[in-house]
Amino acid sequence: MPFVSVNPATGRRLAVHRAHSRARVAAAVDRAQAAYLDWRGLTLARRARVIRAIARRLRAEQETLAQLLTAEVGKPIAQARAEVGKSAMVCDYYARHAARYLAPERPLGAPRGTRVVCEPLGLILAIMPWNFPFWQVFRAAAPALMAGNGFLLKPAPNTAGCALAIEKIFAEADAPRGLLTVLLAEVDAVPGLVADARIRGVTLTGSTRAGRSVAALAGAAMKPGVFELGGSDPYLVLHDADVAEAARICAHSRLINSGQSCIGAKRMIVVRSVLREFERELTARFAAARTGDPTDLATGVGPLARGDLRDTLHAQVRRSVARGAKLLLGGRPLPGPGNFYAPTVLTGVRPGMPAYDEELFGPVAAIIPVRDEAEALAVANDSSYGLGAAIFTRDRRRARRLAGQIEAGLVFVNDFVRSAPALPFGGVKQSGHGRELGAGGIRAFVNLKTLSGA
């Protein structure tokens, strides 16, 4: 099947890219392997020069790339520009810090003359989603490449244009041909790619279902993997929170990328003593969010990326309301062209409802009332996911104590969960395993080799 890009704001077809044949995929892997064998022999300083050149090209082409991102995904243009800029930032970060992260170490208590060195593994297969088609690629590619690996990118079908633009950026930066190679491969090509002896690791950002499938393939082939999967992040609003500020932050987090973010504020767990105030404040924020043309700087909420995603979201909202959730705002697809969905606020959410049990990918807030802090913690952990979480309280000691008990990979206090180049990013439970970014991100795909007497 072809890779088809459709503008989700208008329904207009943007481009049709032919899927790569098996022969073309095989030739691409051959080319990537040749590039890797040369790249791994370069010094860190020479690798850094290439990665910095890529960052410069990203900044030079920021507006063009942002417009493409908005056209393919429907992301509001200001957020699209920020995503491209952040992608350049992560390149600069690893170009600057890779030497320190990869420096030889002498383990504590090790015999004299013993050290541990970091060596590249080989080609890394990256299976990437559509919601952040630049940032999610570069946060995996920049550390992997600085560690000396090669990078094979299999994008989502609806963001093939963004992936091919990344490949072009590498060429314009004079990166070795094939160092980052885009594979417009069908899903049925993935098992063969994972099994290929030249591919030494797998990184995937996507659904838990996709992650389980690919992780099983990687496990069977004895290959390391990093899996950043779904999330249903709890945001705890406690009795002593600044409620207006908590509502502002929750609304901002939930509406990033029109609600299509794995670390958005999915479950807002609110102590009953501040529930009504929070409902009023959050509903007002959602009502004020401007939904419409994502190329307009005034737009805060764009369309969902595909029509089937809107259908799934609406079905989840309808089932939640049918099972007793109260609809405070929205709850419907918007008429006219495009995959627009009204910003929606549900309250009275409880177990057995999709808004409680499942990940909702769109501009829908789920408010879960609780008696007190203890119940808030129990509800926060009552999920198969464990990616991010946030706590709103004026008591820093309480926040630290609760943060230590929440089952998540990231916990933010009085702020929204976000990724940054220096901070390890990843989850627990069904949100995946392994870490991107920070030291863990660059060491995810290296051979930690012990040398003794050398």
Based on the residue annotation, tell me whether 91 is a catalytic residue of this protein: no
Taking the C-alpha atoms of residue 133 and residue 324, their distance in angstroms, rounded to an integer, is: 37
User: Where would I find the H helices in 147-270?
Assistant: 160-172, 190-195, 208-220, 243-255
Beta pairing partners, 25: none
Which two tokens mark 387? 């990616």
Task: Please classify residue 431 by burial: count the beta carbons closer than 10 Å to its beta carbon, then call 0-12 exposed, 13-18 middle and 19+ buried.
Answer: buried
Based on the residue annotation, tell me whether 262 is a catalytic residue of this protein: yes
- Number of neighbours of residue 176 by Cβ within 10 angstroms: 18
Which two tokens mark 440? 């863990």
Grouping H, G, I as helix, E, B as strand and the rest as coil, residue 171 is: helix
Catalytic residue among 91, 262, 373, 407: 262
Which two tokens mark 357? 């049990």
Taking the C-alpha atoms of residue 20 and residue 246, their distance in angstroms, rounded to an integer, is: 48
- Number of neighbours of residue 272 by Cβ within 10 angstroms: 12
Which two tokens mark 288? 């004020």
Q: Do the beta carbons of residue 200 and residue 121 sit within 8 Å? A: yes
Taking the C-alpha atoms of residue 316 and residue 319, their distance in angstroms, rounded to an integer, is: 5
Taking the C-alpha atoms of residue 99 and residue 83, their distance in angstroms, rounded to an integer, is: 26
Angle at 13 between CA 9 and CA 16, to 5 degrees: 135
- For the chain, report the end-to-end CA distance as a whole number of angstroms: 53
Which residue is it, tokens 């509406």?
A: 255
Catalytic residue among 83, 118, 162, 228: 228
Active site residues: 228, 262
